[in-house]
Structure 1
Amino acid sequence: MSNVNLIIEERPARIGSFLVGRLLPFREKRMVGPFAFIDHMGPAELGPDENFDVPPHPHIGLSTLTYLFEGSIMHRDSLGSSVEIKPGQVNWMTSGKGIVHSERTPEHLRPFPKKLHGLQIWVALPKHLEDMAPSFAHVEAADLPSWTQDEVEFRLIAGEAFGRKSAVPVYSDLYLIEIKASKDTQLDLSGKLKGESGLYILEGKVSASGHGFGPKQLLVSTEPETCGFFMSAGTTVYLFGGEPFPEERFIYWNFVASEKETIEKAKQNWRDQTFDKIDGETEFVPLPER
């Protein structure tokens, strides 16, 4: 994209028994707009004796967004939600003052070989909504705005862009867009985006600012009003961002807050196990004491 200010490479990180590629937060760029955390999961092939298992763990101050390319994840939370996430769907869980969820391979897939590939994203809540009641939404793939322009496929996963609005109930000015090019394409999005922008390259090649970039790279620009980039045929990217918050956000483990005291309180509540529980789940991820 034009005016690339930062290039972020995926770094390995472990989530439960699963190795992922971490994009955000990054030491030189903690957030892009309201986006505070992005993990690229997979692509992974799991055998019959290998499963994705993240036991119950808490969140505060954010919304989680799970978007799969392959495979399935069973989501359960302390609100009573129990949903199998499949490719193309959006799983949107808003923690607010506190929620607990687990993520696992569905029971019907556990005895068989399976694949898992997707994105897991955290979007920080505005300061005045950090203490809101938790909520959950699941949006089908068919309910996401999708369109084709000059052989480029667009899907608006969350937020608003290009005069369209996703059904995902976001709480701030943001956008997350999937873009797939079937032929060499120059995209000019000048004047169509607001705030900060990040461009994650899932596959293929992107050229911007006179340089070429490839898979597993995240490009960050603070001037999306001049956003433009070249996509080679067969390229898939995820364009995301929005208006940054005026206040700094602190992140500790799964907690995001504008006040350190809020995080300290959440840490103690998890130590004391006073968060709401998930029906049928007894284990939990201990608080990392670091």
Structure 2
Amino acid sequence: MMSRRKFLRGSAILGVSVAAPSLLLGQSGMYSSKGNRKVYRVLNADHTKVGTLPVMRAFAGDHLDHVSPFVLFDEFGPVDIKPGSDALRVNAHPHAGVIPTTYFLSGSGHHKDSLNYDFQIQTGEYMMFSSGRGAIHMEESGQRLKEEGGKIHGFQIWLNMPAAYKLDDPTTTVFRDDHMPTIIKKDFTGRVVLGELFGYKSNIKTFTPTFYYYLKLNKQARLNIPTDPAHNAFIYAVSGGVELEGQHALKPNQLALYERGQSNINLYAEEGAEVFLLGGQPMNEPVYSYGPFVMNNEQQIMQCINDYQSGKMGDPDKVN
């Protein structure tokens, strides 16, 4: 069981590596068009472990000029779980000033927190743990996986909270299908988790303009996705290969950061691909992070530590 003291010793956020440029040779499958966003940099996600859960970490507290309002991006799994085996688990730990969000591509999860929420999260559902001034939660693979076995695969992506809301009361919400429209087109299918795409609009509210799209591109699919030129944007490849502007090749477990100033994000998938495309209005505020605490100055971080140590965020023993 994780003690407060152990948490504080092991709470550093680690960065990831920059990928060597990978360009397609020969003829491009992309149509050129005006107003294309330029790729700034491609990152390799790195293997790490959170509790007993293996993850691929694409960024964590770095590259904020290009990923804000997001601050961390983890892909967990895919992992096959045998019936009756121990749950993959992240023991009780605190958060403050940030919204850890979870989305399952397959499998299920169990969430329990110091706000008296205790529930199972299913495939295709989206959870927002708005930590505000501070709360504790535990995460593990779900009861159905324990009983029946199967694959667990999903994403935990942290959304920063503006300074004006960082000390709000914490809350937890799970959103079902009726909040996130599904797009079915000839070249692709998609889920609009946050924001709006091609007239399909999510009903989930965020503090600042934010978009979060899960897209499955068919073979030979070409997409031209409009975005606000003043907003950040980045794309992560889950499976398959994707061609980006300038013949940049994006491979699985790589993330491309885009420059601001233009609107269109051009994608081409010769053999099909599965991607997440996210971004939004940058938060032009200072960011101080210490492990799971994301605040605006060092004094606030120290207050978070004191609140956690004194039990004001809840009792980890009751959450585990």
Q: TM-score if structure 2 supplies the norm length?
A: 0.81
**What residue number does 2:279 align with?**
241
Q: Distance in 1 between matches of 2:141 and 2:63?
A: 34
- SS where residue 5 of structure 1 aligns? strand
**CA distance change for structure 1 residues 162 and 128 in 2, over 3 Å: closer, same or farther?**
farther
Name 2:172's counterpart in structure 1: 136
Cα distance between partner residues in 2 of 1:108 and 1:196: 37
Q: C-alpha separation between the residues in 1 aligned to 2:311 and 2:234?
A: 37
Is 2:38 the partner of 1:3? yes
Q: Could you tell which deviates more after superposition, 14-23 or 165-174?
A: 165-174
- Tell me, what secondary structure is at the counterpart of 2:67? coil
The 1:105–1:212 alpha-carbon spacing in structure 2 relative to 1, beyond 3 Å, is closer
Q: 2:91 aligns with which of 55, 65, 69?
A: 55
- Bigger drift between 161-170 and 243-252 goes to 161-170
1-side partners of 2:46 and 2:61: how far apart?
A: 10
Provide the rounded CA distance (Å) in 1 between the counterparts of 2:163 and 2:226: 30
Cα distance, 1:282–1:36 mapped onto 2, change above 3 Å:
closer
Quick check: 1:221 aligned with 2:221? Answer: no
Aligned to 1:94: 130
CA distance 1:282–1:216, shift in 2 (3 Å): closer
Matched with 1:288 is: none
Amino acid at match of 1:159: G
In structure 2, do the counterparts of structure 1 residues 77 and 169 end up closer, same or farther at CA, with 3 Å as the change threshold?
A: farther
- 2:279 maps to 1:265: no
C-alpha displacement of 1:23: 0.8
- Shift in Å at residue 138 of structure 1? 0.9
Moved more, 250-259 or 50-59: 50-59
Query: How far apart are residue 282 of structure 1 and its match?
Result: 5.7
Alpha-carbon separation, structure 1, partners of 2:305 and 2:66: 22
Q: Distance between the aligned counterparts of 1:77 and 1:27, measured in 2?
A: 27
**For the residues of structure 1 that align with 2:156 and 2:306, how far apart are their CA atoms?**
26
Deviates further, 104-113 or 121-130: 104-113
Partner of 1:250: 288
Distance 1:269 1:150 in 2: 52
Is 1:212 the counterpart of 2:246? The answer is no
User: Corresponding residue for 1:79?
Assistant: 115
Contact 1:249–1:258 (8 Å) recurs in 2: yes
1:14 is the counterpart of 2:76: no
- CA displacement at 1:44 relative to structure 2: 0.8
Deviation of residue 167 (structure 1)? 2.4
Determine if contact 2:81/2:146 at 8 Å carries over to the other structure. no
Q: Take 2:65 and 2:112, find their aligned partners in 1: how far apart are those partners?
A: 28
**Residue 170 to residue 191, structure 1, CA distance change in 2 (3 Å):** closer
Q: What is the percent sequence identity of the aligned residues?
A: 24
Residue identity in the other structure for 1:269: D
**Separation in 1, partners of 2:270, 2:315:** 47
Report the CA distance between 1:159 and its aligned residue.
Answer: 2.9
Shift of 1:109: 3.8
CA contact (8 A) 1:2 1:229 kept: no
Determine which structure has the larger helix proportion and give its number. Answer: 2
- Stretch deviating more after TM superposition (122-131 or 218-227): 218-227
Q: 1:36 aligns with which of 71, 77, 102?
A: 71
For the Cα contact (< 8 Å) 2:221–2:272, is it kept in 1?
no
* Counterpart Cα distance in 1 of 2:45 and 2:174: 28
CA distance in 1, matches of 2:226, 2:88: 40
Contact 2:132 2:167 in 1 (8 A): yes
Unaligned runs of 5+ residues in structure 1 are 284-290
Matches of 1:127 and 1:231 in 2, distance apart?
Answer: 39
Asked if 1:158 is matched to 2:194, the reply is yes
> 1:176-212: CA deviations, max 9, x gaps?
0011112212211245665010001111111122122
TM-score (norm 1): 0.89
CA RMSD, Structure 1 to Structure 2 (Å): 2.2
Deviations 1:25-77 (A, max 9, x none): 26455760201011000111233333211122111111121001111111111
Q: Number of matched residues?
A: 282
In the TM superposition, what whole-angstrom CA distance separates every residue of 1:93-125 from its partner, at most 9, and x where no partner exists?
A: 111111111112334543553321100011001
**2:186 is equivalent to residue 180 of structure 1:** no
Q: Distance in 2 between matches of 1:217 and 1:114?
A: 25
What one-letter code is carried by the residue in structure 1 that aligns with 2:70? F
Quote the offset at 1:151 in angstroms.
2.7
Shift of 1:234: 2.6
The residue matched to 1:84 in structure 2 has which SS? strand
8 Å contact from structure 1 (residues 161, 193) kept in 2: no
Residue 164 of structure 2 aligns to a residue in which SS? helix
